[in-house]
Amino acid sequence: MTDPEETRESGAKDAASVKTPAKTGPKRAIHGPVIERVGPGVSADRRTLLVLPGLGGGKAGLVALLDGLARTRPVLSLETDSFSGSWPSRVAAILAELDRRGLERVDVLAWSFGGVVAQHALLAAPQRFEGVILAATAARLRARERAMMAHLRALFEHDLEPMALARALIGVLFGPPFLRRPGVVAVLEALLGQVPLDRANWIGAFDALLEHRLERELRGTDKVRAVLCGELDWIFPIDEAERLAELVGAPLERLPGIGHALWIEAPQAMIAACERHLGPPSL
Amino acid sequence: MSALGAEEIRARLRHRPPALGIERELEVDGGGGRRFLTVERGAWHPAELLDAAAQAAGLCARGEADPAEVSLLVVAYEGVRWPLSLRALRFTVEVRPLRAFLSMYQFAVKVREGAGVDDGELCLEAQVTLAREGG
């Protein structure tokens, strides 16, 4: 494992390479884990890559992914399920966080729910974003996806044990080939079952998703550099990724044998996509 | 205490191939943790390696107990650090006991590439908490 030369982090409980305590100050708009990474030899003056993970973040896998991304550019990860409200209020929270850090313009890697947040942010403040990569996400939810979100919302409304919720999620988050690997289901059950769930925030996120439809608005957007999708994505299927790529005029990268959880199943593909499509980070 | 061989490990764990992740214990001089060699696989994902590390921790917690009588479950993985990918085909798992309380056992595990004792690259670390099934 490679530790970045400089690491600042607040809120995340599962990262070991904390070298500078979190800043204390005025209450932030983002309440959940905010993770910063700057790899060895990378100038902090380079354009930052804003990472917007999906619901639940990524936990163990997220740290390795951020370290990998930080080899070439500063990385700022905002956990997108840590705040609630309408899409405009979620976007405002992200922009406020960028303002607070003096980041006028960033690149973006966003996936799943974070990818939806990124679409709304891109439309609200296109001048704040240089290049955007959207992964495992969609421009809209059709009846099938809305039914799935409504069902997940109902599960979260009931007083199920975290492990029961984890089991409900595992089958839809990961591709079958990944889950066939020895011991993987048991490990995922334990890891996901430990994730602290703010049920109100998750329910709010499902409500927001049920209203997500940006087909018309996204057409002609020129900031999206690539769309990534696992071919076995059960949540936002490959045909919706094709639709999204067509709308924003970006190439679609299909990842064979991979499910929705790209950040755990194929993190290196996400890093490679950033290097390929975002180019060298400029000042 | 002599190092556990393949047959002893199979007797102490309920896991069977391909779920069995530990092949044998390595002889180590001096104090500190116990070290185990994983089985060889064509490709490992970090989640598989974490499961193998939990199996090694289970061997340390179980002692001589019969697995039919004492069943251990993973109740928590904490402080997990795993890499983007793994290149090696087998690994060395070091297990150090942290604390035992009632029916709970907590271990620190470190996994290095290859079959060496200390010279392989550190690729995974975590705290694993096990509990006796049924308390």
A142-152 per-residue burial string, b: 16 or more CB within 10 A, e: under 16: eeebbebbeeb
Chain A nearest CA to B30, separation (Å): 26
Q: Select the residue of B51, B79, B125 nearest A186 (Cβ to Cβ).
A: B51
Q: Is B18 within 8 Å of A182 when comparing Cβ atoms?
A: yes
Q: Is the pLDDT of residue A41 over 80?
A: no
DSSP code of residue A112:
T
Whether the Cβ atoms of residue B103 and residue B115 lie closer than 8 Å to each other: no
Q: For A89-148, how does the pLDDT look when each residue is reduced to its tens digit (9 = 90+)?
A: 889 999 999 999 999 999 999 999 999 999 999 999 999 999 999 999 999 999 999 999
**A1 and B81 in contact by Cβ < 8 A?**
yes
Which residue range is the domain that position B98 belongs to? 6-132
CATH number of the domain that B67 lies in?
3.10.129.10
**Does B1 reside within a domain?**
no
pLDDT, averaged across chain A: 84
Decide if pLDDT at A5 tops 70: no
Q: What residues contact B129, with CB distance under 8 A and at least 6 apart?
A: B74, B75, B76, B77, B78, B104, B105, B106, B107
Contact B48/A191, CB-based, under 8 Å? Answer: no
CA-CA distance, A212 to A112, in Å (whole number)?
Answer: 13
Quick one: which of A130, A137, A82 has its CA closest to A104?
A: A130
Encode pLDDT of B11-58 as tens digits: 889 899 999 999 999 987 666 789 999 999 999 999 999 999 999 999
Is A278's Cβ below 8 Å from some Cβ in B?
no
Kindly list the residues from chain A whose CB atom is less than 8 angstroms away from the CB atom of residue B53: none
Q: Residue B29: what pLDDT?
A: 66
Mean pLDDT of A234-247: 97
User: Could you tell me which chain A residue has the CA closest to the CA of B49?
Assistant: A183
Chain B partners of A194 at a C-beta cutoff of 8 Å? 76-78
Mean pLDDT over all residues of chain B? Answer: 89
The total domain count for chain B is: 1
Tens-digit pLDDT profile for residues B69-97: 778 999 999 999 999 989 999 999 999 99
| CA nearest neighbour of A273 among A59, A37, A110, A116 | A110
Peptide bond before residue B46 is cis, with ω within 30 degrees of 0: no
Q: B81 with B31: CB under 8 angstroms?
A: no
**Residue B78: inside a domain:** yes
The model scores a pTM over 0.90: no
- With an 8 Å Cβ cutoff, are B83 and A181 in contact? no
Is the torsion defined by CA of A22, A24, A30, A32 positive or negative? positive
- Tell me the residues of chain A between 209 and 248 that have a Cβ less than 8 Å away from chain B: none
A190:B81 CB<8 A: no
Residue A60 and residue B51: Cβ atoms within 8 Å?
A: no
- Cβ-based burial of B69 (10 A; exposed 0-12, middle 13-18, buried ≥19): exposed
What's the complex ipTM? 0.87
Q: Which amino acid is at B129?
A: T
Give start and end residues of each alpha helix (H) in A102-157.
113-124, 143-157
- Distance CA(A268)–CA(A273), nearest Å, equals 8
Q: Which amino acid does the sequence have at A84?
A: S
A85 secondary structure, DSSP code:
S
* Closest chain A C-alpha to B111 CA, distance in angstroms: 11
Say whether pLDDT at A1 is over 80: no
Residues from chain B contacting residue A68 (CB–CB below 8 Å): 84
Of residues A64, A65, A190, nearest to B77 (C-beta): A190
Distance from CA of A207 to the nearest CA of B (A): 31
Domain boundaries, chain A: 6-140+213-277, 143-202
Q: What fold is seen in the domain A6-140+213-277? A: Rossmann fold (3.40.50)
Tokens of residue A75, six digits = 């990385």
Give A178's contacts in chain B (Cβ within 8 Å).
45
Of A164, A47, A46, A65, the closest CA to residue A114 belongs to: A65
The pLDDT assigned to B103 comes to 87
Residue A164 has pLDDT above 80, yes or no: yes
Task: Identify the band that residue A22 occupies on the pLDDT scale cut at 50, 70 and 90.
Answer: very low
Q: Which residues of A touch B50 (CB under 8 A)?
A: 183, 187
- Residue in A16, A60, A182 closest to B51 by CB: A182
- Cβ of B103: how many Cβ atoms within 10 Å? 14
Q: Do A178 and A265 contact (CB within 8 A), yes or no?
A: yes
**Alpha carbon of B78: minimum distance to chain A alpha carbons (Å):** 7
Three-state DSSP class for B92? strand
Interface test with A, best of B80, B82, B122 (most A CBs within 10 A): B80
Tokens of B124: 């995974």
Minimal CA separation from A76 to chain B, in Å: 18
Q: Does A184 touch chain B (CB under 8 A)?
A: yes
Distance from CA of A60 to the nearest CA of B (A): 6
Banded pLDDT at A248 (limits 50, 70, 90)? very high
Length of chain A in residues, anyone? 283
Instruction: Extract the runs of DSSP E, i.e. beta strands, from A149-251.
Output: 224-230
Q: Do A184 and B83 touch (CB under 8 A)?
A: no
For residues A168-196, average pLDDT: 90
Contact A218, A227 (CB under 8 A): no
Record: contact A183-B50, CB cut-off 8 A: yes
